[in-house]
Amino acid sequence: MKKITKAVIPAAGLGTRMLPIARTIPKEMLPIVDRPAISYLVEEAKNSGITDILIITGRNKETIENYFDYSPEYESRLIAAGKKDLVNKLRQICEGVNITFMRQLETKGLGHAVARAEAFVGGQPFAVLYGDDIIFSKTPVVRQLADIYEKTGLGVLGVKEVSDELIMKYCTLDAAKTDKDGIYTVLDMIEKPKKEEIITNFAILGRVILPPEIFGILKETKPGAGGEIQLTDAMKILAKNNTMMALDFEGKRYDMGSKLGFLKANVEQAVINPEFGQEFKTYLKKFVKEL
């Protein structure tokens, strides 16, 4: 089966849940400790064997492109200050993978953003990493999903069980167990289900592998929930044709598109930071005790 070498990162959303900061700073550029969220996605893709990434951006998102560029003026100042090692570290951010950028022009939904990637993908299967879903795992999640694609040739959704309350905001999956632990065949999906419509509590959390057939389906997909072209509406067609799998992946996911998710990601990563984690933990324990 074909290897997955291309990935699309949709990062053009308005980020209304992260206002007011998201009006001027893209939520994908919000930091987890000292790196923007999107750089964790690029790392994950790189470590999964991806060689080409398309980042879909929009107006007010120029800082994303700048982040993945060299900075000659900054670098010459660092070299003059005898800090060449820092220059090398900065350059590593944009090396080892080809990154291209494209504007969505209009924010008409995740499905609309992914549809922009057709020429880039060039008839290959590809990975999608939702720009505000950060996942820390032993094996990068895109690699976990790609392993299944490369064996089966079918689309694969990265899923995790969530509460009833959350699944009603996401999409419930009708998923049947296979003989492999954690791997399911997806039969159907219902976007934003009512309580009585919940089939399973498996939600798609930010990673999917899609076959190129998705583009033909997206062209026919009408605006759905919120008046947006929903990627899940197109993926549902693949599910109904029995060509979609799901993996209950190993990893911890943070929703960087929500204020609470952003805060949790920062606190949890700060606690395990090799440089100051111990000090931060001591501070945090004392702080919580005094509450």
The count of residues interacting with ligand UTP (CB under 6 A) is 20
Residues in the chain: 291
- Binding segment for ligand UTP among 85-93, 130-138, 150-158, 185-193 (CB under 6 A)? 130-138
The Cβ-side half-sphere exposure at 100, using a 13 Å CA radius, reads 12
- Shortest distance, CB of residue 131 to ligand UTP, whole angstroms? 3
CB of 6 to ligand UTP, least distance (A): 17
CA dist 258 and 198 (Å) reads: 23
Closest among 152, 140, 217 to 185, alpha carbons compared: 152
Which residues inside 100-129 make contact with ligand UTP, applying CB under 6 A? 104, 107-110, 112-113
Cα-Cα end-to-end distance for the chain: 56
Cβ nearer to ligand UTP, comparing 171 with 186: 171
Site string (31-70) toward ligand UTP, x via CB under 6 A? -------------------------x--------------
CB of 151 to ligand UTP, least distance (A): 28
Residue carrying the six token digits 């009833």: 164
Position among 40, 67, 68, 130 found at the interface with ligand UTP (CB under 6 A) = 130
d(CA 50, CA 126): 9
Please give the residue whose beta carbon sits closest to ligand UTP in the complex: 13
- Residue 126 CB, nearest approach to ligand UTP (Å): 15
| CA pair distance 154, 1, nearest whole angstrom | 10
CA distances from 69 to 65, 100, 170, 285 (A): 7, 11, 35, 39
Q: Which residues are near ligand UTP by CB under 6 A?
A: 10-17, 56, 104, 107-110, 112-113, 130-132, 257
